[in-house]
Amino acid sequence: QVHLAESGGGSVQAGGSLRLSCTTSGFQSSRRCMAWFRQAPGKEREPVARINYDGTPNYPASMKGRFTISRVVDTDTMDLRMVNVEPEDTAMYYCAADATSANCWSWAPGAYDYWGRGTQVTVSS
C-alpha cells in the first residue's frame, strides 16, 4: 500500500527556517519524480518544487531562492528546506509522487498520483 507522510511543519516567525520531510512506503519513490505543493486557505494548490529520480531539482520562478528540495535515496525520504520564511508562506504543505515517471514533466497537481495528508506551516510576522 502506497503511503506518503509529511512532517516538520509548525509555527515559525518571519525570517526563520523550517525543514519539511516526506517519508514514503509501498513504492520505489527513489525512482520516481516527486514534488512539494502547498495550499493556503481560499487559494489553489500551487507547486513549490519538484525533483527527478537522480536528484535534479526544479523550482517555479516564484519559488526560487528560498526553497531547497532534496532526497535521501537510502531512506526513501524527500526534504524541503525553507529559509527566510514569510507570512505568505503560511499554508498546508503536501508531498506528491508520480507513479510512473522518473523525470518530472509537469507542475500540475493532476500529474501526480500519490499524495500525503500534508503538514501545516504557519509563519507569523
For residues 15-20, average pLDDT = 97
Return the beta strands (E) in the chain as ranges.
Answer: 3-7, 10-13, 18-25, 34-39, 46-51, 57-58, 67-72, 77-82, 91-97, 114-115, 119-124
Give dist(CA 77, CA 8) in Å, integer.
13
Query: If pLDDT is split at 50, 70 and 90, which confidence band does 100 have?
Result: very high
pLDDT digits (tens, 9 = 90+) for 48-73: 999 999 999 999 998 888 999 999 87
**pLDDT computed for residue 39 by the predictor:** 98
Q: Which three cell numbers stand for residue 80?
A: 524541503
Give dist(CA 80, CA 101) in Å, integer.
20
